[in-house]
Amino acid sequence: MTTTIAGRTRKVRRGYGRVALAFLAPAIVVLVLVRLVPAASALYGSLTRSSLLTGQTRFVGWENYAELLGNPDFRGAVGVTVLFTLIINPLQVAIAFALAVLFTRRLAGVRWWRSLVILPIAVPPAVSAVVWNVIYRPDDGLANAVLSVLGLPPQPFLTSPDQALAAVIVLLSWVGVGYWMLFLIAGINDVPGELYEAAALDGAGPWRKFFHITLPMCRRPLAFVLVADTVSNLLVFAPVQMLTGGGPEGATNLLMYDIYTRAYTLGDLGRAQAEVVVLVLLTVVIVAAQFRMLRGDSEGA
With beta carbons less than 8 A apart as the criterion, state whether 157 and 138 touch: yes
| Closest alpha carbon to 185 in 290, 97, 94, 93 | 97
Q: Which of residues 93-132 bind another protein (CB under 8 A)?
A: 99, 102-103, 105-110, 112-117, 119-127, 129-132
Provide the minimum distance between the beta carbon of 282 and another protein in the complex, in angstroms, as a whole number: 9
Does position 283 bind another protein by CB under 8 A? yes
For another protein, the closer CB: 114 or 169: 114
Does position 222 bind another protein by CB under 8 A? no
Q: Which of residues 125-154 bind another protein (CB under 8 A)?
A: 125-127, 129-142, 145-146, 148-149
For another protein, the closer CB: 66 or 146: 146
Q: Which of residues 151-210 bind another protein (CB under 8 A)?
A: 156-161, 174, 177-178, 182-183, 186-187, 190, 196, 206
Q: Measure the CA dihedral 190/191/196/199, to 10°.
A: 170
Q: What is the distance between the alpha carbons of residues 16 and 9, in angstroms, rounded to a whole number?
A: 8
Q: What is the distance between the alpha carbons of residues 3 and 52, in angstroms, rounded to a whole number?
A: 48
Provide the minimum distance between the beta carbon of 90 and another protein in the complex, in angstroms, as a whole number: 18
Q: Which of residues 240-279 bind another protein (CB under 8 A)?
A: 241-242, 245-249, 256, 259-261, 263-270, 272-273, 276, 279
Does position 75 bind another protein by CB under 8 A? no
Provide the minimum distance between the beta carbon of 273 and another protein in the complex, in angstroms, as a whole number: 6
Specify the DSSP class assigned to residue 153: P
Residue 98 CA, chain-centre distance (Å), reads 20
Residue 177 CA, chain-centre distance (Å), reads 12
For another protein, the closer CB: 90 or 124: 124
- Kind and range of the H or E run holding 48: strand 48-50
For another protein, the closer CB: 87 or 163: 163
For another protein, the closer CB: 83 or 220: 220
For another protein, the closer CB: 86 or 288: 288
b/e burial code for range 27-47 (CB count within 10 A of at least 16 → b): eeeeeeeeeeeeeeebeebbb
Q: Binding-site residue total for another protein (CB under 8 A)?
A: 147
Q: What is the distance between the alpha carbons of residues 93 and 63, in angstroms, rounded to a whole number?
A: 39
